[in-house]
Amino acid sequence: MTPIINTNNSDRKKRWSQAIAFTIFKLMSYSVVAILILILGFIVSKGIGVISWDFLTKAPEEGMTKGGIFPAIVGTLYLVLGSSLFSFPVGIMSGIYMNEYAAGSKIATFIRIMTNNLSGVPSVVFGLFGMALFVNTMGFGDSILAGSLTLGLLSLPLVIRTTEESLKAIDFSYREGSLALGATKLQTIRKVILPMALPNIITGLILSIGRVSGETAPILFTVAAYFLPKLPTGIFDQVMALPYHLYVITTSGTDIEASRGIAYGTALVLIFIVLLVNILANVLRNYFSKKVKTN
């Protein structure tokens, strides 16, 4: 009889250790949520009072201690736009090549390894590289063009990966069906594959916009300006940018204490962009996945 009692004992012990372990895991998981709520809650509560129509539409005044952040918002918008103009077409084309033309080949493997490597390169190295190539060697100077290209290269791996994965998710029978009807490969991609993959690709592109709008290190030496009295007029102008603005007014402003309020407001605007981008991406994802199911 002894063995049975032992089994019961170890059974209880097993159940106990499971209960304890699971509780710990659950607590740890929810503490991650708590951290997120702490960060968001802190910045929202401190920053919400600063946000006003004037804050969003006026230029900084009195050494960044008063006024708004309009030029920084415009600058970030230009940089997002500029980098997207470069990274979206190149990234999508690259993804198409890897999945539709070179899938499984040595070239695709090589490109994939290089793309992974590029996505591991720290953002400050992109900044160094952008400064050496675009600003100095190509002679663009500190400009929207140099900053956009640097940011575009930085977000390229994300766009490529999203495109490739979206294409991979499409069942092979669609390609065969189209080809069997006499369509060429290009027609198949353009008329069948891309429209199907587009929702997922767009979701990825939106997320990459979120990433680009928050990057600071790559624009430090390629485009960002501490303060500009007027808005940029061409692609060879410098701009102010939201993340850089937050960095300078918290670390090296003329009066750091006095510009704290502006800093909270700027941080809140950045958080708001990220929230917007994430919600938009999630809504799109859910909407399209439902649509696919009902089809």
Partner 1 sequence: MKRFLEKLVEGALLLSGSITSITILLIVIFLFKEASGLFNSPVIEEGYVLGLNKANPVKDLNSYQIKQIFDGEITNWDEVGGKEEPIEVVRLSDLTKYYTEEELGASFENIPSKASELTSKHAGIILFLPKEYIAKNFNGTLLNHETLRPGDFFGGKEWYPTASPSAQYGLLPLLLGTIWVSLGAILLSLPFGIAVAVYLAEIASMRVRNFLKPLIELLAGIPSVVYGFFGLVVIVPFLQESFKLPVGETALAGSIVLAIMALPTIITVAEDAMRTVPRATKEASLALGATQWQTIYRVIIPYAKSGITSAAVLGIGRAIGETMAVLMVTGNAAVIPHTLLEPVRTIPATIAAELGEASAGSGHYQALFALGCILFLITMVISISIEFISKKKYN
Which one among 6, 12, 39, 81 touches partner 1, defined by CB under 8 A?
A: 39
Distance, CA of 186 to CA of 79 (rounded, Å): 32
Q: Which residue, 144 or 209, is less far from partner 1 as judged by CB?
A: 209
Does position 246 interact with partner 1 (CB under 8 A)? The reply is yes
120 Ramachandran zone, left/alpha/beta (phi>0; psi -120 to 50): alpha
Q: Is 179 exposed, middle or buried (0-12, 13-18, 19+ CB in 10 A)?
A: middle
Give the per-residue contact string, 50-89, with partner 1 (x = CB under 8 A; - = no): ---------------------------------------x
Q: What one-character DSSP code corresponds to residue 256?
A: T
Q: What are 61's strand-pairing partners? A: 66
For the record, the structure tokens of 233 come out as 């007029």
The answer to the question of residue 138 lying near partner 1 (CB under 8 A) is: no
Stretch that binds partner 1, among 14-22, 56-64, 193-201, 227-235 (CB under 8 A): 14-22
Choose, by CB under 8 A, the member of 151, 167, 205, 220 that binds partner 1.
Answer: 220
Q: Which of 14, 168, 290, 291 binds partner 1 (CB under 8 A)?
A: 14
Stretch that binds partner 1, among 49-57, 60-68, 105-113, 193-201 (CB under 8 A): 105-113
CB 18, min distance to partner 1, A? 4
How far apart, in whole angstroms, are the C-alpha atoms of residue 251 and residue 226?
A: 12
145 binds partner 1 (CB under 8 A): no
- Render 55-69 in DSSP notation, one character per residue: HHHS-EETTTTEE--
